[in-house]
Amino acid sequence: MIVRLPPRIERIINGALLSGQYRSPEEVVSEAITVWQAQQTAAAQPPTDQRDAAIERLKTFGKTHRLSLGGVTIKQLRDEARP
């Protein structure tokens, strides 16, 4: 496959090669695609660990500052927010 890259991207790749981190332009592009693919996969999946951590922070904050949600529980809010 032959790919034409804009000069700005070529400079980035050349910089990565000059740094000694990579041995070839293909290696730079391959890692970039791998990182991009991981980001796309992560974006498509709900970050449950992050959501659960945010819920715990909210519960702690509410207890610390004696806040009320007007009878609605954190679980109800969480369940309502899920797709």
Q: Where residue 83 falls among pLDDT bands split at 50, 70, 90?
A: low
Integer Cα distance of 7 and 77 in angstroms? 49
Residue type, 69: L
- What pLDDT does 14 receive? 96
- What pLDDT does 45 receive? 63
Q: Where are the alpha helices (DSSP H) in the chain?
A: 7-18, 25-44, 48-64, 74-81
For 36, phi then psi, to 5°, come to -60, -45
pLDDT tens, 40-50?
Answer: 877 766 667 77
Q: Is the pLDDT assigned to residue 77 strictly greater than 90?
A: no
Question: Mean pLDDT throughout 63-68?
Answer: 71
The residue ranges of every structural domain in the chain are: 7-44, 48-81
pLDDT tens, 3-41?
Answer: 899 999 999 999 999 999 899 999 999 999 988 888 887
